[in-house]
A = this chain, B = another copy of it.
């Protein structure tokens, strides 16, 4: 088993990564001092539940915990205020009190939703993440929790750190291949922003990662989580540095919004976004091989790197102007300096972004 410590003062917590951890969940709750006198709420979704809920329930019940379970529909649609209220109803009817916890068993959707419930139920109770997707190696670190507003993603949320994260690699075996690749997009992103060797490792071990080899997954998730934890512990509330985690996300979020949520997985959208960031870097004169190197890594992980024709530049630009990352109408981008290093660049001209979108549509072929 691998353990990564997220260093956040009194809000520090460990991330346990290994195979076969879910059947030991009860022992982990006890180890972390959770009270068996209070009920605990498991939030999961209807695609995760059939595979993994019983294992978790048995382990917790054997350890003496009383459980309330809320199974939401799989998909981004569950990150809504309506589903949030339904989960709150389960929590109240189940008698959760201040010593209770909310346990997220699932991917980023369940983690963000359950985390926002934990952050706000009685003004905040304990939260435990049990991620079941590769993408959730990203979403389970940093304490960002949220639901969506019909007008904008992740608009309603909080910072709420978990007590601990229990990452059982075995749960990943049931993940559909497209979800595997999408999750690996965030993994390689962590290499691209802070660790060139890790980015190249992801490319070199792409086949193992895609085949869900336990050793490769364990190492990749440990490094991915450690890089994110390092950034977050230097900037818990997103004052500055933390923004580098948004590499590829400005364009990526616009793609998700314009295509309509569902057509692209988040990881796929940011993969195209990272290809775009590499083009932007080159346009700003930061080395000629960035786009080629970046897209080679992404393609090795079966990820898309070309902007599809049906997403218009006007729509994408409009979506970006709405993006909350634009402070006071200036455009901010995370721009690679090299593989493994990025800068936060303010005041990128809108026209340049438009040009990049054009190039990105042609897979970067037109750039000089």
Residues of A within 8 A of B (CB): 35, 37-38, 81, 84-85, 88-89, 92-93, 97-99, 119-124, 144, 146, 149-152, 155-159, 237-238, 324, 326-328
**Which of B37, B120, B328 is within 8 Å of A158, CB to CB?**
B120
Most chain B CB atoms below 10 A, which of A151, A156, A327? A156
**Which B residue's beta carbon lies closest to that of A35?**
B328
CA distance A122 to B157 in the complex (A): 6
Asked whether, in the complex, the Cβ of B99 is within 8 Å of the Cβ of A156, the reply is no
**Which of B35, B97, B144, B149 is within 8 Å of A85, CB to CB?**
B149
CA distance A121 to B154 in the complex (A): 9
Tell me the minimal C-beta distance from A172 to chain B in angstroms: 28
For A98, list chain B residues within 8 Å (CB): 324, 327
For A124, list chain B residues within 8 Å (CB): 158-159, 237
For A35, list chain B residues within 8 Å (CB): 328
**Would A89 and B327 be within 8 Å (CB), given that A119-B158, A144-B123, A157-B120 are in contact?**
no
**Would A85 and B89 be within 8 Å (CB), given that A98-B324, A327-B97 are in contact?**
no
Besides A97-B327, A98-B324, A121-B156, 18 more A-B contacts (Cβ < 8 Å) are A35-B328, A37-B328, A81-B81, A81-B84, A85-B149, A88-B149, A89-B149, A89-B150, A97-B324, A97-B328, A99-B327, A120-B120, A120-B156, A121-B155, A122-B157, A123-B157, A124-B158, A158-B158
Tell me the minimal C-beta distance from A139 to chain B in angstroms: 14
CA distance A93 to B144 in the complex (A): 23
16 cross-chain CB contacts under 8 A: A38-B328, A85-B149, A88-B149, A88-B155, A88-B156, A92-B151, A92-B152, A93-B151, A99-B328, A122-B157, A123-B144, A123-B146, A123-B159, A123-B238, A124-B158, A124-B237
For A123, list chain B residues within 8 Å (CB): 144, 146, 157-159, 238
For A155, list chain B residues within 8 Å (CB): 88, 92, 121-122
**Which B residue's beta carbon lies closest to that of A145?**
B123
CA distance A99 to B100 in the complex (A): 34
CA distance A88 to B155 in the complex (A): 9
For A121, list chain B residues within 8 Å (CB): 155-156
CA distance A326 to B95 in the complex (A): 11
Asked whether, in the complex, the Cβ of B81 is within 8 Å of the Cβ of A85, the reply is yes
**Which B residue's beta carbon lies closest to that of A328?**
B37
Tell me the minimal C-beta distance from A89 to chain B in angstroms: 7
Tell me the minimal C-beta distance from A112 to chain B in angstroms: 11
**Which B residue's beta carbon lies closest to that of A238?**
B123
For A38, list chain B residues within 8 Å (CB): 328
For A238, list chain B residues within 8 Å (CB): 123
Tell me the minimal C-beta distance from A261 to chain B in angstroms: 17
CA distance A92 to B322 in the complex (A): 9
CA distance A97 to B238 in the complex (A): 14
For A149, list chain B residues within 8 Å (CB): 85, 88-89, 92
CA distance A324 to B95 in the complex (A): 9
CA distance A156 to B84 in the complex (A): 10
For A92, list chain B residues within 8 Å (CB): 149, 151-152, 155
**Which B residue's beta carbon lies closest to that of A144?**
B123
Tell me the minimal C-beta distance from A113 to chain B in angstroms: 14
CA distance A290 to B193 in the complex (A): 66
Tell me the minimal C-beta distance from A79 to chain B in angstroms: 13
**Which B residue's beta carbon lies closest to that of A80?**
B85
